[in-house]
Amino acid sequence: MTEQDLVAAPAGVPVLDLDPFSMALLDDPYPYHARLREAGPVVWMPKHGIYVTGRHEQVREVLNDHEAYISSAGVGLANFNKEPPFRPKSLILEADPPDHTRARTVLSRILSPRSVMLIRASFVLEADRLLDELLAAVQAGQVVDGIGQVAEAYPLKVFPDAVGLESQGRENLLLYGDMVFNAVGPRNELLARSAEKVQPVTAWIMAHCQRHMLQAGGFGDLIYQAADAGEISQDEAPMLVRSFLSAGVDTTVNGIGNALWCLASHPEAYAKLHADPGLARTAFEEALRFESAVQTFFRTTSRDVLLAGVPIPAGSKVLASLAAANRDERQWPDPERFDIERRPTGHMAFGSGIHGCVGQVVARLEGELILAALAKRFKRLELAGQPTRRLNNTLRALSSLPLRLTPA
């Protein structure tokens, strides 16, 4: 008997017999997303025994009803009410109110627009420094790897600096991100492979969540200050630092990497950006819509619910495809068109509702600054070879992106 035989197909729900976590669908998810949206507002996938929604309206509904669709049973395929979590639960991601609210209040203050204003100057300086270096490399005749030299280099410098992390060992942040985002999916080959490295990487991460490892005044230290003030307990502080280190790097690395890929494969869009680097912010936003770095999250129903009239029993896992919602023709005119002058307000790449990305102000800052710095220095950005994909159960990611850059 296979896993799927254990879960009977519910009546009245369209069935889609696909595995969204198979290598083929992860490599090219868009035809599957179209089938998902077409099949109905909610479908049943027997392979994993889950309900799946890929239409914007229903994705939004699931994410905005945090009482019916809870996070404390995990936001991946695993149901934490039935099996233990692969790591101690995140105090913010895998929590519901009122527990969630305390953690969220602290993190939203640390990552607020006002506090991000204070780091802006250093983020600008670093983007300019990195792109000056890149310009010199290009002038010396080098082909550039957009992933290693830009998309990884920039977030790995500025975000851990802002958290107050030491410089050494930061590559662990990418390995850890790869692991936690694979763990949102099933126990497939991808999870097995990234879990092989879990012990040393987790040990490094947890060690760097300790107060004495974090520079005074950084985001990490501010969490400990919140604990000193009694907003959270001392035991909770390292766990909230862990949230920075889980969600703060691999997400922006791939947001920027995907944006570079979008621009390299749409020369007319890059030409517009070069002509007006002020478009950097909306260009980044459109890239998030078009190639969402985080493709999916799950919720678990806390009671019997109706979603678009479809009955879903209590205790069900519901997959919300952020990426499919972001190309839903019911929501977006000409969704398959990458258009940096579109204002894709309401895209789901940062999620929505009380769990909507708490770091989105920082993420947007990084995206905007790196694209603007690029646009100012280069008049053309072209593919210099085939990009390679880094398959991950949740992240839309590239491992390399060979670029030919033409100085302005």
Q: Answer whether 301's CB lies under 8 Å from 313's CB.
A: yes
Segment interacting with ligand OVM (CB under 6 A) among 135-143, 168-176, 243-251, 332-340 = 243-251
Does 246 contact ligand OVM by CB under 6 A? yes
Distance CA 69, CA 314 (A): 9
Report the distance separating Cα 296 and Cα 316, nearest Å.
16
Ramachandran bin of 331, using left for φ above 0, alpha for ψ from -120 to 50, beta for the remaining angles: alpha
Contact status: 252 vs ligand OVM (CB under 6 A): no
Identify which of residues 95 and 375 has a Cβ nearer to ligand OVM in the complex: 95
Question: 90 vs 326, which CB is nearer to ligand OVM?
Answer: 90
- Rule CB under 6 A: choose which of 18, 42, 77, 93 binds ligand OVM: 93
Q: Is 42 in the site for ligand OVM (CB under 6 A)?
A: no
Examine residue 243 and tell whether it contacts ligand OVM (CB under 6 A). Answer: yes
Based on the shown chain and the rule CB under 6 A, indicate whether residue 92 belongs to the binding site for ligand OVM: yes
From residue 270, how far is each of 155, 267, 365 by CA, in Å? Answer: 22, 5, 19
Number of residues that bind ligand OVM (CB under 6 A): 8
Q: CB 90 → ligand OVM: shortest distance, Å?
A: 3
Name the residue nearer to ligand OVM (CB basis): 245 or 371: 245
Binding mask 72-91 for ligand OVM (x = CB under 6 A): ------------------x-
301 binds ligand OVM (CB under 6 A): no
Single residue of 63, 68, 180, 287 touching ligand OVM by CB under 6 A = 180
Torsion of CA 396, 163, 224, 95, to 10 degrees: -10
Q: Which is nearer to ligand OVM, 243 or 295 (CB)?
A: 243
What contacts 25, CB < 8 A, 6 or more positions away?
18, 19, 32
**R_g of the chain computed on alpha carbons:** 21
Parallel, antiparallel, or unpaired for β 305-307 and 310-312? antiparallel
How far apart CA 323 and CA 347 sit, in angstroms, is: 9
The phi, psi pair for 397, rounded to 5°, reads -140, 150
Which of 73, 93 has the CB closer to ligand OVM?
A: 93
Chain residues in the site for ligand OVM (CB under 6 A): 90, 92-93, 180-181, 243, 246-247
